Chain A
Amino acid sequence: MSSVGGATLAHLPFGDIVIYITPFTLTLFLLALVFTILVIASRPERQLDITFGADRIITKETGLTEMRFRRFMAIACGLASMGAMLTGDVFDFALFTSLVGITNVGIVAAVKSRHVQNAAFQYGLVAMAGTVPLFGAAAMVAATTGTLSMLELAKEATSVVPFAVKAFLVLGVMGEGMAPFYAAKAEMFRAPGAPYVIMCSLSSLLIFLRVIEVVLTV
């Protein structure tokens, strides 16, 4: 198969869902894996609030339950990104992408701050709305081509998936991968969200890179 990701190195069959490994997907997979290991090994950052005009510094502690929950969500997000990087099936890709979206909601929503919770609510709405074009595109791929396997779709000489369906798929991934906008605007990167919030940015970047490969391949 001629793919933008390079020659296929290996296949990993799960029934009709065949995972295929190319240099491109392997690189993204390793990136997700390394960051997941970093998240497992790291500890939450402590935010210092300095009051001007007074000699006062407040350290904000992250509670154990909150830290555990956010670490769990970050690890789940890493696993979901790894799955989305390797999968060779359009519907499976949509599922892993929406899993990335919902774990990102979890990472953002765990921070105990009104501002951040508002951002998480707004992002949750976008991620929920994004599932409609995402799964709609997967359904339309099945209807217009008769199959969902990227390997089968890549065998065609010219792309059989209509352009508008590909645009719909990209739109869905955009909705799921909007987390960094909210995380950055809610000032989470140096706030108690660090370092787990880095998984938001990384997973969004990875699913954007992968959806471009998917759209060019099918």
Chain B
Amino acid sequence: MIISRISRFISNFDNLLALFAGACVVIAVLLILSLPLPYAENQLYPKSLNAGSPLNPYDRGGPPFTQADIVVQYPENSPYAGYVTAYLTPLSGFMAAHTLYLGTTIVAHPGGILDEILYNTRGLDTVVESTILFIAFGIAAFLFRKGS
């Protein structure tokens, strides 16, 4: 019977990866067939690159400590959005003044750019992201120590 053969195939967990890969291929073909997908011109988080700004791509504009104009989904939930765009620590300020690439080092030095959209209006995302990293390091550490 075909059902028992399918059942026997998926009862071996070495085959499940191939099964998932097959599903990926089928859905990817479906996705390619449905191209081109429409692009909504009215984007919630528009990205405008100013090639001369050292804070690229996190430059949301505005002078320090005044509210910049930031597009958010629910402005009533983030009344302070737009206030922290230009805060730089002395080290970050030095780097911003001398190079054009401070925005690419967002994780490499403390007290750098606070991205408005990432940390102000989508704060829960950053919490979950760092939790995923923490869990991954926890698993790696446990498996590494288990050997000894």
A residues near B, CB below 8 A?
A: 13-18, 69, 72-73, 76, 80, 83, 87, 89, 91-92, 95-96, 98-99, 102-103, 105-106, 109-110, 112, 118-119, 122-123, 125-126, 129-130, 133, 140, 142-149, 152, 162-165, 167-168, 171, 174-175, 178, 181-182, 185-186
The main secondary structure of chain A at its interface with chain B is: helix
Within B18-43, the residues touching A (CB, 8 Å) are 20-21, 23-24, 27, 30-31, 33-34, 37-43
Is the pair B139, A146 in contact by a Cβ cutoff of 8 Å? Answer: no
Q: With A140-B37, A182-B16, A185-B11 as given contacts, are A16 and B135 in contact (CB-CB < 8 Å)?
A: no
| B128 and chain A: residue at smallest CB distance | A95
Interface band, chain B = 35 or more
Binds A, one of B53-61, B71-79, B106-114: B71-79
Contacts of B143 in A (CB 8 A): 109
B residues near A, CB below 8 A?
A: 10-14, 16-17, 20-21, 23-24, 27, 30-31, 33-34, 37-45, 72-74, 77-78, 81, 117, 120-125, 128-129, 131-132, 135-136, 138-139, 142-143, 146
Contacts A16-B74, A167-B31 supplied; 13 other A-B pairs, CB < 8 Å? A15-B120, A16-B121, A72-B138, A91-B125, A92-B125, A109-B139, A122-B17, A129-B20, A142-B44, A143-B40, A162-B34, A165-B37, A171-B27
Residue in A14, A87, A89, A118 whose Cβ sees the most chain B Cβ within 10 Å: A14
Q: Which of B12, B120, B129 contacts A185 (CB 8 A)?
A: B12
A103 to B73, CA, bound (A): 31
Is the pair B124, A99 in contact by a Cβ cutoff of 8 Å? Answer: no
Q: Which of A72, A123, A168 contacts B31 (CB 8 A)?
A: A168
Contacts of B77 in A (CB 8 A): 13-16, 18
Q: With A146-B40, A178-B16 as given contacts, are A99 and B121 in contact (CB-CB < 8 Å)?
A: no
| A147 and chain B: residue at smallest CB distance | B44
Contacts of A76 in B (CB 8 A): 131, 135
Is the pair B27, A133 in contact by a Cβ cutoff of 8 Å? Answer: yes
**Distance between B82 CB and nearest chain A CB, rounded to angstroms:** 13
18 contacting pairs across A/B (C-beta < 8 A): A15-B81, A15-B124, A16-B72, A16-B77, A76-B135, A122-B13, A126-B17, A142-B43, A143-B43, A144-B37, A144-B39, A146-B40, A146-B44, A148-B44, A163-B34, A165-B37, A167-B30, A171-B24
